Amino acid sequence: MDEARPLWATPLQFVFACLSYAVGLGNVWRFPYLCQMYGGGSFLVPYIIMLTVEGMPLLYLELAVGQRMRQGSIGAWRTINPYLSGVGVASVVASFFLSLYYNVVNAWAFWYLFHSLQDPLPWSVCPLNGNRTGYDEECEKASSTQYFWYRKTLNISPSIQESGAVQWELALCLILAWLLVYLCILRGTESTGKVVYFTALLPYCVLIVYLVRGLTLHGATNGLAYMFTPKMEQLANPKAWTNAATQVFFSLGLGFGSLIAFASYNEPSNNCQKHAVVVSIINSSTSIFASVVTFSIYGFKATFNYESCLNKVILLLTNSFDLEDGFLTVSNLEEVKSYLASAYPSKYSEVFPQIKNCSLESELETAVQGTGLAFIVYTEAIQNMEASQLWSVLYFFMLLLLGIGSMLGNTAAILTPLTDSKVISSYLPKEAISGLVCLVSCAIGLVFTMEAGNYWFDIFNDYAATLPLLLIVLVEAAAVCYLYGLRRFESDLKSMTGHALNWYWKAMWGGVSPLLIISLFVFYLSDYIITGTLQYQAWDASQGQLVTKDYPPYALAITGLLVASSTMCIPLGALGTFIVRHLKRGDTASVA
Amino acid sequence: MLWLLFFLVSAIHAELCQPDAENAFKVRLSLRTALGDKAYAWDTNEEYLFKAMVAFSMRRVPNREATEISHVLLCNVTQRVSFWFVVTDPSRNHTLPAVEVQSAIRMNRNRINNAFFLNDQTLEFLRIPATLAPPTDPSVPIWIIIFGVIFCIVIVATMLLILSGIRQHRRKNKGPSEMEDTEDKWENTVKIENGIPCDPLDMKGGHVNDAFVTEDERLTPL
């Protein structure tokens, strides 16, 4: 008998591992955006409903499968039914794509972290132009934070066709990120189990500090009021419900095989039902908590911009009409404007086109998500705080912790099936397999550090793990309920944990959750088909803003390949098993 | 007669210094923005100081060392506070070319700002762009230093973990092989009593019958 399977030292380590995997960047930069787009406080209604109906049952299912089968995703699904080995392979492929591009975000977080220890913050000032009479043109047209992100960090090219060279600074940060991940997964659960204490708990400390700071910022209440005033009419919008379902689904990280991998290192008697409920509730609470922080910072930024806008108008009027300095204030702006319009009509009409209509509402309405939120909007807010270096370091350190925590889960999903396989683990020790996987991923990940790398990042982010995952989880749920048998699984769980299976879980697994996933799947497909050719946002340096462009055919081909390579594993796996069995039956038939 | 001359001189002066006149520059001060409550009032004394600073700047230009305060003319002072100024040549008939005035002001901008406790934004010379201070560029970018430190720490930690893992592996390999030696010695001496070997059952080659024992059922469930 080969050596016993490594186990988590305590069940707490398992909970923390699941938490640090599930609580990731999506909680910070996607949920607040969805909240803002789909009705603020009223978005919580579809979100909580989807959590109880779809998130918790599917999470419990994955944990139970992993704990019962005590193998990584490939072995687990092969044990459930030999024709399903393709499901495990699809999970591993999807996890591989995910870890390829996810670690690039960690590289960016490292880059910003290292640059936070300067005074002034490099993204708060524009560099000077050639003859030192003004600021760099691209920086003037965009803002200094956008310039730092698009030019200094990414050095982005105008379109996806122009790949450009590998940016050595980013490449170094990427290598460091992969080294750090390797350090954490080197010893398997022994090392991962200790690291997850940090990656699970420290982000909360930082979030609490930020909450206190955020709530005390000038103008934070504007943002909070904007977020929490429910817009009930959004409940009738089907997009709100589908986005809530999608967010719950992807936030928990279902279908990648990471949860199965983590649960496989559990004691068989572990109460995974309790853990599933706990993890999903904490994950969602973190999303809401993070959006409170985000919106107080939004409010601060919007108020700051609104007041700057007003000050610019005041300066413009003061200069044009040579009024006494300090005479125009925010309070008397409107009446003075009307006075000037009546007293000096010709001059006023000259100046009028330049007077911007400053509106707090429009500032608050600029909803951003993803890397734009994390690296442009947040940095813009941070640069205006006092002691901005400290807040910047804290913020990017938190992003790093969240990212590394999720990477631990991603790599566990790839490594557990590899280390379970007797073929590979007999040749290479665990450390070498991990090192090889990290090395290969790092080498391929260098693609994302090229000048067009961000465009490829967006492709991977939007397509590599969305559609295939829905299919994988659908097959998983259907397989456990109908192929393996719900009754058989129920008795397995009962003998394993000692608790009977609640009727609620059976109803969800058997009926509701698969139906939800099918409808999500149909919705996604119809969305892709209706929108026709896919487009992307490219940065135009001459205008200092994003422009929409069409993907070239080869990019579309690669996108299709990405989706197909994980989805096709399922039928191909079934076909492969069928052929092998047929051959074996043919052999035994010929022998007999 | 004297009155006529006076009017003539002031008329010429008035022509030389006018808004949008040739070689005239507009200056704009934002005293309240810069100094808040400590803002001083802009009176003729301040204007005198301003003329002195401009004359000082011009005197530092080669060939213009003879510029006097009286050669600097101010006009159109508004409430803002803003006004126009020109610098005339010693004959007081022509104004100095704008390019010279511009370069002189640019070279001494810092001194002029400091005389009034203002900066480039609150003391504006329209059409005379200020030379912006370049951001401080350290010889080695700071981020590389921090990157190097963290990189070295991670590499050292990784090496330590790998080496301790290899050592553990070696110890494990040595351990069972030592045990195997003593076991072999025991097994080689087959105990014989009365001509019959003591161990009739061949325990060495025993297999566990999987049909009877599964790992899960070894312990009775609670």
pLDDT score recorded for residue A276: 93
- A212 phi and psi, to 5 degrees? -60, -45
The pLDDT tens digits of the residues spanning B128-181 come to 877 777 666 666 788 889 999 999 999 999 999 999 988 988 888 887 666 555
**How many Å lie between the alpha carbon of B2 and the closest alpha carbon of chain A?**
36
Please check whether residue B30 touches A, CB under 8 A. yes
Cα gap A109→A101, rounded to integer Å: 13
CB–CB contact A176 B79 (8 Å): no
- The answer to whether residues A60 and A477 touch, using CB atoms and an 8 Å cutoff, is no
Tokens of B157: 């930690």
Angle made by CA atoms A196, A200, A205, in degrees to the nearest 5: 135
- The answer to whether residues A537 and A551 touch, using CB atoms and an 8 Å cutoff, is no
What are the beta bridge partners of residue A550? A535
SS (H, E, C) A34-88: HHHHCCHHHHHHHHHHHHHHHHHHHHHHHHHHHHHHCCCHHHHHHHHCHHHHHHH
Largest Cα separation within chain A, whole Å, is 110
Of A125, A176, A324, the CB nearest to B151: A176
pLDDT score recorded for residue A29: 87
**A13-590 CATH, one of 1.10.4160, 1.20.1050, 3.30.70, 2.40.30:** 1.10.4160
pLDDT score recorded for residue B214: 57
Tokens of A24: 């990731």
What pLDDT band is residue B39 in, cutting at 50, 70 and 90?
A: confident
Q: What tens-digit pLDDT sequence spans chain A (592 residues)?
A: 345 788 998 999 999 999 999 999 988 888 988 888 888 888 999 999 999 999 999 999 999 999 999 988 899 999 998 888 899 999 999 999 999 999 999 999 999 999 998 888 889 888 887 777 778 888 888 888 999 999 999 999 998 888 889 999 999 999 999 999 999 998 888 888 889 998 999 999 999 999 999 899 888 998 888 888 888 888 888 888 989 998 998 899 998 999 999 999 998 888 989 999 999 999 999 999 998 998 898 889 889 889 988 988 888 888 888 888 778 888 888 888 888 888 888 888 888 888 888 888 888 877 777 888 888 888 988 988 889 999 999 999 999 999 999 999 999 999 999 988 888 878 888 888 999 999 999 999 999 999 999 999 999 988 888 888 999 999 999 999 888 989 999 999 999 888 888 889 999 998 898 999 999 889 888 887 887 678 888 998 888 888 899 899 999 899 999 999 989 999 999 999 999 989 988 776 665 5
The pLDDT tens digits of the residues spanning B180-219 come to 555 555 555 555 556 665 655 555 555 656 666 555 555 6
CB–CB contact B143 A128 (8 Å): no
Alpha carbon distances (Å) from A538 to A455, A458, A463, A569 = 8, 11, 18, 33
Which range, of B7-16, B34-43, B187-196, averages the lowest pLDDT? B187-196
A320 to chain B: closest CA residue: B80
Segments making up each domain of chain A, as ranges: 13-590
pLDDT score recorded for residue A546: 87
Q: Which residue has the tokens 């719900």?
A: A486
Q: Which residue has the tokens 């002066």?
A: B13
A70 to chain B: closest CA residue: B216
CB–CB contact B80 A110 (8 Å): no
Tokens of A521: 């799947």
Cα gap A148→A358, rounded to integer Å: 26
**How far, rounded to the nearest angstrom, does the alpha carbon of residue A196 sit from its chain's CA centroid?**
19
B157 to chain A: closest CA residue: A183
**How many Å lie between the alpha carbon of A208 and the closest alpha carbon of chain B?**
26
CB–CB contact B32 A325 (8 Å): yes
Cα gap B219→A389, rounded to integer Å: 57
Residues contacting A589, CB < 8 A, separation 6+: none
Which residues of chain A are within 8 Å of residue B150 when distances are taken between CB atoms?
A: 176
Give the annotated binding-site residues of A for Na(+). 22-23, 27, 251, 283, 402, 406
pLDDT score recorded for residue B210: 60
Please check whether residue A506 touches B, CB under 8 A. no
Segments making up each domain of chain B, as ranges: 13-125
- Interface test with chain A among B158, B166, B218, by most A beta carbons within 10 Å: B158
Which residues of chain B are within 8 Å of residue A117 when distances are taken between CB atoms?
A: 142-143, 146
Tokens of B123: 């003391």
Q: What is the mean pLDDT of chain B?
A: 79
Q: State the helix-helix crossing angle for A569-591 and A85-115, rounded to 10 degrees.
A: 140
- The answer to whether residues B121 and A315 touch, using CB atoms and an 8 Å cutoff, is no
Query: Residue B44 CB: number of other CB atoms within 10 A?
Result: 9
Please check whether residue A322 touches B, CB under 8 A. yes
Please check whether residue B66 touches A, CB under 8 A. no
- The answer to whether residues A413 and A222 touch, using CB atoms and an 8 Å cutoff, is no
Give the annotated binding-site residues of A. 22-23, 27, 251, 283, 402, 406
Query: Residue A213 CB: number of other CB atoms within 10 A?
Result: 20
pLDDT score recorded for residue A36: 84
Omega prior to A120 cis, within 30 of 0: yes
SS (H, E, C) A144-163: HHHHHHHHHHCCCCCCCCCC
- Interface test with chain B among A7, A70, A183, A191, by most B beta carbons within 10 Å: A183
pLDDT score recorded for residue A2: 42
Cα gap B143→B149, rounded to integer Å: 10
Query: Residue A147 CB: number of other CB atoms within 10 A?
Result: 24
**How many Å lie between the alpha carbon of A306 and the closest alpha carbon of chain B?**
19
CB–CB contact B165 A325 (8 Å): no
CB–CB contact A127 B28 (8 Å): no
Of A110, A133, A324, the CB nearest to B80: A324
What are the beta bridge partners of residue A546? A539
CB–CB contact A326 B33 (8 Å): yes
Please check whether residue B101 touches A, CB under 8 A. no
Cα gap B211→B221, rounded to integer Å: 19
Q: What one-letter code names the amino acid at A426?
A: S
- B72 phi and psi, to 5 degrees? -95, 125
Burial bucket for residue A235 (CB in 10 Å: 0-12, 13-18, 19+) = middle
CB–CB contact B132 A268 (8 Å): no
pLDDT score recorded for residue B184: 53
Which residues of chain A are within 8 Å of residue B151 when distances are taken between CB atoms?
A: 172, 176, 179
Omega prior to A547 cis, within 30 of 0: no
Which residues of chain B are within 8 Å of residue A319 when distances are taken between CB atoms?
A: 28, 80, 82
**How far, rounded to the nearest angstrom, does the alpha carbon of residue B87 sit from its chain's CA centroid?**
39
Q: Which is more confidently placed, B81 or A66?
A: A66
- Interface test with chain A among B81, B84, B120, B162, by most A beta carbons within 10 Å: B162
Tokens of A387: 């002691």
